[in-house]
Structure 1
Amino acid sequence: MFTGFTDETVDFMWGIRFNNERSWFEAHKDIYLTQFYQPMKELGAEMYDFIREKRPDYGLISKTTRIYRDARRLHGRGPYKDSLWFSVEQPSEQWTAHPTLWFELSPDGWTCGMGYYMPKPVTMAKLRARIDRDPGTMEALTRKLNGQQEFLLETEDYRRPRSAAPSPLLKPWYKAKSFSIYHQDKLTEELFSREIADHLKRDFELLLPYYDYFVTLDGDPDPREP
């Protein structure tokens, strides 16, 4: 059962950031496993159970990342990450193309949210086509998002919008090549108790209507086909 992260969790994250090599990691591996990886896995399992109970028909899975970087993609970086995260999502061979709920902890703070890492262009085309058919639903979701203070919408935009938005409120979605709805915070005291679990449950409950909207996009017709 998740009971909170510890001071040793934070010490390890800073340690691996500045000592990103095998001998340091091996000397501190037990701390990584007991104070970082295991609590993250427990927190992820609890959030997965919470979300799955609310969306039992989605066939969701939970993943907790490990600290080891892909040796093929080091690009001059050390072999270890200095952050860990868990995700809740539908199983897929190409997870980057599907919406994901996540929580990440790093030496600098924590984030949680929902979004795409790298959606396919057809996915965003389907989004624009769905909004064209029914702008009211996304307008209501966008108003709700703009009316709260926990989450922000972050987009990576096309240089030029692919089409004109039905209203100024919906313009950010028409420019987006990818997006996330996220909350970012410092290393707050709640991380060291079960308070962070309660906080995340509230956050994920707020995000679920957005996840509902995007997780069904794959089933929409391809608007590029005649």
Structure 2
Amino acid sequence: MEFKGFSKKTLPFLESIRQNNNKEWFEAHRSEYEEFVLNPSRAFVEEFGEHLMALEPTINFSPKINKSLFRIYRDTRRMGAIKVPLKYRIGIIFWQGSGSRMQTSSFYLHFSPDELFVAVGVRWFEKPMLDAYREYIKDDARRDNLARILEMLESKGYKTIEKGYKRYPKGFNKEMSDAQLSLYKGMATYKILEPSLIVDGDLLIETLYKIYEEMLELQQIVYEISLRVKEDNNYARM
């Protein structure tokens, strides 16, 4: 299926999910979900995955649920989970490496009636990845280089995710250059765009490619850190 952009009805349909967030309504409108969301998402993954391989030849992508696509139903059983059953924010991920798609560096996006969110990195480190990240930035040169990349991205209008800690972890202190990098619970940069961009397939792909190209240095650093989880810390990968 050739990707020509999402339908003009896609965002209104997602708003309908937000306003009618129950399984009965969704099952009665499943064919619209497939037409306006699922099928074009699959086509987008195939099309844009081929483009991303020009930036990173080893990137992984697959137009399947629990691969590049996410389930429309939430797991409402988890403690602290949002209790409405359906997602009106549609996520798509292209990940690098053989580990968990959420714990190795990725090119990520989601769209909703409110925004088109575009990011690279890992937004929330699990402990093995957090340990590897902190070990990586203990090196002065690596830490300085990461700070330089984030500063460069911020100068281009990108944002870095918020810090997750207030106290320096063991091995870091305020006297170290760029010590604030140790306060992050993840490492990712992002940009928020108008969601209507998803309707124009060519413009969407062109815009995303340019953004990911500018974010590539950070993507590669976070991927290098993910490799250290496996090689240096010998943690089991999910």
Question: For the superposition of Structure 1 and Structure 2, which TM-score range results when normalised by the shorter chain?
Answer: 0.7 to 0.9
Q: Distance in 2 between matches of 1:22 and 1:128?
A: 42
Question: Of the candidates 75, 92, 109, which is equivalent to residue 70 of structure 1?
Answer: 75
Residue 139 of structure 1 is matched in structure 2 by 147
Instruction: Check if 1:159 corresponds to 2:166.
Output: yes
- 1:46 deviates by 2.1
Question: Of the candidates 131, 136, 143, which is equivalent to residue 130 of structure 1?
Answer: 136
Question: Which protein has the bigger strand share?
Answer: 1
Q: Distance in 2 between matches of 1:115 and 1:3?
A: 27
Q: Which residues of structure 2 form unaligned runs of 5+?
A: 63-67, 234-238
- 1:89 deviates by 0.6
- 1:197 deviates by 1.4
Q: Distance in 1 between matches of 2:186 and 2:13?
A: 32
Q: Secondary structure at the match of 1:87?
A: strand
For residues 159-198 of structure 1, what are the structure 2 equivalents within 5 Å? 159-162=166-169, 163-164=172-173, 166-167=176-177, 170-188=178-196, 190-194=197-201, 195-198=203-206
For residues 48-98 of structure 1, give each alpha carbon's deviation from its aligned partner in whole angstroms, at most 9, with x where no partner exists: 212223322x35234111312236349562322112111011355533322
Moved more, 39-48 or 135-144: 135-144
For residues 113-169 of structure 1, give each alpha carbon's deviation from its aligned partner in whole angstroms, at most 9, with x where no partner exists: 0122431334334334333422442233123123211x10013422301113642xx
Q: Distance in 2 between matches of 1:76 and 1:208?
A: 32
8 Å CA contact 2:15, 2:113 repeated in 1: yes
Q: Which residues of structure 1 form unaligned runs of 5+?
A: none
Residue 41 of structure 1 is matched in structure 2 by 42
Q: Distance in 2 between matches of 1:80 and 1:72?
A: 13
8 Å CA contact 1:83, 1:106 repeated in 2: yes
Q: Distance in 2 between matches of 1:155 and 1:71?
A: 26
Report % sequence identity.
21
Aligned length: 217
